[in-house]
Amino acid sequence: MHRIILIFFFLLPTLLFAQKQDYYWPFGSDQDSQPGVQASEIRFNKLPIEARTREGGLEFDNNKASICDENGALLFYTNGCAVANQHHEIMPHGDSLNFDDFFVEFWGDDCGNGYPGKYNIYIIDAPENDSLFYIIHKVWEETSELPTNFSNRIQYSIVNIHADNGNGDVIVKNEVVVMDSVESGYLALIKKQNGIDWWILQPGLAPDLFHRLEVTADGVQDLAPQYIQRHYDPIQTGSSGGAKFSPDGTKYCYYSTYDGLYLYDFDRSTGLLSNLRLMDTDVLPLVNISDIEFSPNSRFIYFNVVDTLYQLDSWEPDLADGVRLIAPWNGVADPLNQHSFSNIQAGPDCRIYVRTGASTNSFHVVHDPDELGTACNFEQQAIQLPYIAARSGFPHFPQWRVDETEKCDDSLVTMFGELVYTTTNLNLYPNPASDWLQVELPDQYPNGRLVVYDVLGNVWMDSADEQNGDYQSQRTLDTSA
């Protein structure tokens, strides 16, 4: 007697774009001396998508970056003083990144703590070379001449990902490209108009100064700087804010609670800023915790002033008219009474993540960042971590999808909740079938899940039970039994 079967193909959340380099987010530290404090990670290509415990690997301060392949699988990451491969092992020659007097004298010569500095490090692909990746990074300096921290040079290192049996090797390390004092933080990178080469923008340690660099097939070059209005207070600015390019690549925002919010137009062909619009933040002195992030549609800018999150509508002619209060901190100590919002980072799932600057059990989430005002749906303590994530913020990414129509994948909005499934038509033959049945699965949905039921509702076959994660566009089912 032949079994009568019903076949369903479920569409799991899947990406509509090719650039998945920002799909691995590590945070926290493996600290055996502090039970309950454990490293975590989010892998946006692993279902169900959730915060998971990370066994081993690097520990972090605020300086971190990671890079994935075209399928969202981890290639390597760095904490600013070491480079680890996909197996969380330090690469050959992957130690002593940013090694100098500051690291020895002020940071205790200990990479186990990570390297300090927000927005001081990024990983990008090398133009016209699929084996190489650049790490663009800055050295931290502390001096008695200025009562603040700054960086005294911009460097790069190069990873050959195909070396060491595909686990990577740091083949160039700590190569200086700018030997000049620059602001700590505020480093920003974006693809050039040609979609191959890169622009690097870094505010200098002087008013109006922006260092401009490019990364091409010929390497990293320091270009003539641009001078355009930007206030800088060497006594107070420090690393109190952030700088980001918009997802569509047309705008650049520099924000410091001391200096204000500077919104420029950006030309990806020339690498030049123009058309400044300024918004003063009128913040009291000694406030040094802030960050910014663009919404996926590039219209809204989210920024925080210590314990309060705001939204800025960049479409307003006068930026001051576009500021809307989203929410103050809700007072929940989780676990510490840390009442500040610190890092803000857009995810590939069209949401924006916010965290405190201290150890935490949870992250906050802006669920609908393209919506005006409180309709953006900001939820505090939205994501519970498996363990306390010690210190550190989110990894830093350039705008990987600047040339793609979709800047993020909203099919991943079910993250940390129940997955939502839909179905699609399948090509089945022969029909009717007596001994075997060929099932053709749609190529455009490589994350699909094939489930076969009999007429009684019993599961006969489920591809989710198979350990082999390789996608098979055709499946042959034995129907003879």
Q: pLDDT per residue over 257-315, tens digit each?
A: 878 899 999 999 999 999 999 997 665 444 567 899 999 999 999 999 888 999 999 99
Nearest Cα to Cα of residue 254 among 274, 235, 278, 270: 278
Distances (CA, A) of 113 to 30, 60, 301: 10, 6, 32
Mean pLDDT in the chain?
83
Q: What is the pLDDT of residues 128-172, one digit of tens each?
A: 999 999 999 998 876 655 445 678 889 999 999 999 999 999 999
Q: How far apart are CA 136 and CA 65, in angstroms?
A: 10
Q: Does pLDDT of 416 surpass 80? A: no
Block residue for tokens 């700018």: 178
Tokens (6 digits) for 438: 């060929």
Domains and CATH numbers, the chain: 5-12+419-478 (no CATH), 24-408 (2.130.10.10)
How far is 302 from 299, CA to CA, in rounded Å?
10
- The span from the CA of 87 to the CA of 66, in Å, is 13
Residue 382 contacts residue 394 (beta carbons within 8 Å):
no
Task: Give pLDDT tens digits for 434-458.
Answer: 777 787 766 655 556 666 766 555 6
Rounded average pLDDT over 339-355: 90
| Bridge partners of residue 122, in order along the sequence | 136
Nearest Cα neighbor of 295 from 273, 279, 310 is 310
- Cα dihedral sign, 173-178-180-184: negative
pTM over cut 0.75: yes
Q: What is the pLDDT of residue 331?
A: 85
Burial per residue of 314-342, b for 16 or more beta-carbon CB atoms within 10 angstroms, e otherwise: beeeebeebbeebbebeeeebeeebbbbb
